[in-house]
């Protein structure tokens, strides 16, 4: 039940963001910035964590609403979000990004993607390791 409540909050936030986008009529700086590129130092940051730990639970609680159960960016809230849409974790484009780049993006967020700095660092690395398992399928 707790996950359902969090999902509803995320869906409501996505709907509010979509409404603000439609009503405002102008793209915000986050949506207008184009390609989402991590800084050079983030690209080189090594992943110190092995394994996925509790990443599946973390993802089910925090990410599935937008990224979908299979990580394809097709979660229930994705349709209501303004561009940029949630990333497809299984895509070749994302597979080419370093773990450090993904860590930076998860930590900082952009547009509808909130920053996840409040999650413990180990959990964020485990999420990245889990994303990598989806790319191998």
What confidence tens digit (pLDDT) does each residue in 60-81 have?
Answer: 999 999 999 999 999 999 999 9
Q: Which residue has the higher pLDDT, 81 or 5?
A: 81
Tens digit of each residue's pLDDT (9 = 90 or more) over 71-112: 999 999 999 999 899 999 999 999 999 999 999 999 999 999
Contact indicator for 5, 65 with CB cutoff of 8 Å: no
Grouping H, G, I as helix, E, B as strand and the rest as coil, residue 59 is helix
* Boundaries of every domain in the chain: 2-25+36-135
Residue 55 pLDDT class (50, 70, 90 cuts) = very high
Q: Are 129 and 98 in contact, with CB atoms under 8 Å apart?
A: no
Q: What is the pLDDT of residue 137?
A: 64
Domain 2-25+36-135 belongs in CATH node 1.10.3470: no
């Amino acid at each position: 039940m707790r996950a359902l409540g969090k999902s509803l909050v995320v869906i409501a936030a996505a709907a509010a963001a979509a409404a603000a986008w439609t009503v405002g009529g102008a793209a915000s700086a986050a949506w207008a910035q184009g390609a989402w590129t991590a800084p050079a130092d983030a690209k080189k940051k090594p992943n110190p964590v092995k394994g996925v730990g509790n990443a599946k639970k973390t993802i089910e609680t925090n990410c599935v609403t937008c990224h979908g159960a299979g990580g394809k960016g097709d979660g229930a809230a994705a349709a209501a979000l303004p561009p940029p849409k949630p990333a497809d974790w299984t895509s070749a484009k994302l597979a080419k990004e370093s773990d450090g780049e993904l860590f930076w993006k998860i930590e900082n967020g952009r547009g509808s993607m909130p920053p996840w700095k409040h999650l413990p660092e180990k959990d964020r690395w485990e999420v990245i390791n889990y994303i990598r398992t989806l790319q191998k399928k």
